[in-house]
Amino acid sequence: MANSLRGEVLALYKNLLYLGRDYPKGADYFKRRLKNVFLKNKDVKDPEKIKELIARGEFVMKELEALYFLRKYRAMKQRYYSDTNN
């Protein structure tokens, strides 16, 4: 069971690291924060607690995707629709 959770944790870390490339405060900032969070929780042994942390990480991943989608939408809107207030 621990090995399957380890694989999930590693996959989550890799996915978050990939998503962090476009973080507004910079990839280095995101990478440092991500590493600190994972190191802070490295001694957790309880499988239920690990599952909770994985679920929280997946929530953060979805929030990042939503942030990037919104930023992309705003950029496209500014590019293709003129401001009617001018």
Structural domain boundaries in the chain: 2-80
Looking at the whole model, is its pTM more than 0.85? no
Model pLDDT for residues 14-63, shown as the tens digit of each residue: 999 999 988 888 899 999 999 999 999 999 999 999 999 999 999 999 99
**DSSP letter string, 22-58:** G-TT-HHHHHHHHHHHHHHTTT---HHHHHHHHHHHH
